[in-house]
Amino acid sequence: MRIGFIGLGNVGGKLANNLLENSFQITVLDKNNKLMDKFKLKGADTAKSIKDLVISADILITCLPSPKICAEVLESKGGIIDTIQKDQIWIEMSTTEDGQLKRHASLIQQKNAIALEAPVSGGCHRASTGNISIFVGGSREGFDKAMPVLRCLGRKILYTGDFGSASVLKVITNYLATVHLVALGEAWTIASKSNLDLVKTFKGIAASSGNSFVHETESQVILNGSYNINFTMDLVEKDVGLFQSLATKLGVELEISPIVLDIIKDARKTFGDRAWSSMVVKRIENKHNTEFRAEGYPEELVDYEEKSLGYEI
């Protein structure tokens, strides 16, 4: 089974590497030639254009940073919609806007090809080991055909139903993660100002009803001071913005989301587009002249779980 993979960034590069490690024949494409050269050294083929990549593949995977770039790759002359062939499978692994996603799927299906969405969740450290979770929307037939590839990309794989459902679920989970992160900034501030032992505080939160996946992961690099969660400020603003846009479209007036979005926007303005997203807590550190630091925490997260093939949950 030949795979064409477009987008070798923080997440996409790790996912593509998992396919190489599982002996898939892949062709890659990215605007960054240095990234493509690295994959070529690992044994991947490289494409000069989207058309070249489509011709060489049975399954096409896109993992891109924004709805705008997704639209360029799908809709441009010589893009995926223009060049995809009957019975080929396109899998969108980007976190993108659900209306655009459904439109792309419809255009793909008009070419008698198969469209699936498969956003991932669980952090870059799990993407690198193939232990990340994947939500998949689209036809059940397409899901079953793509499963041999999906189970090498992630561990827990959830078929969510009709096309569009997986992306809505992903946006919800990313929103919740961001709320937890912003709340942690306030929690760590109170702990610090109360002169608590931050190592014991970390353990206490982890053992309590206040625990979350975000605490177990992002609190570690916050306490280290690197903030290196391998996810950037521009992307977290995009994700919370997508959640807020979805609420607006559904006519749902939210209370927490607008506040969190304003906090994220301010952090992005303060620290820059490519600052790590967990630096949002540094706003409150700076404001109250404190630091959340403790010994023994890693500079970057590593997934120590044993690698295994994915399965449907």
What is the residue-level pLDDT of the chain in tens, covering all 313 positions?
899 999 999 899 999 999 999 999 999 999 999 999 999 999 999 999 999 999 999 999 999 988 899 999 999 999 999 999 999 999 999 988 888 999 999 999 999 999 999 999 998 899 989 999 999 999 999 999 999 999 999 999 999 999 999 999 999 999 999 999 999 999 999 999 999 999 999 999 999 999 999 999 999 999 999 999 999 999 999 999 999 999 999 999 999 999 999 999 999 999 999 999 999 999 999 999 999 999 999 999 999 888 889 999 9
Name the nearest CA neighbour of 171 among 121, 214, 210, 125. Answer: 121
pLDDT value of residue 254: 97
* 97 three-state secondary structure: coil
Model pTM above 0.75: yes
Residue labelled with tokens 């925490």: 297
pLDDT value of residue 308: 86
What domains, with CATH codes, occur in the chain?
2-163 (3.40.50.720), 168-287 (1.10.1040.10)
Q: For residue 273, what are the contacts with CB-CB under 8 A and spacing of at least 6? A: 232, 233, 234
Dist. CA 8–CA 32, nearest whole Å: 8
Task: Identify any residues that bridge with 312 across adjacent strands, giving them in sequence order.
Answer: 157
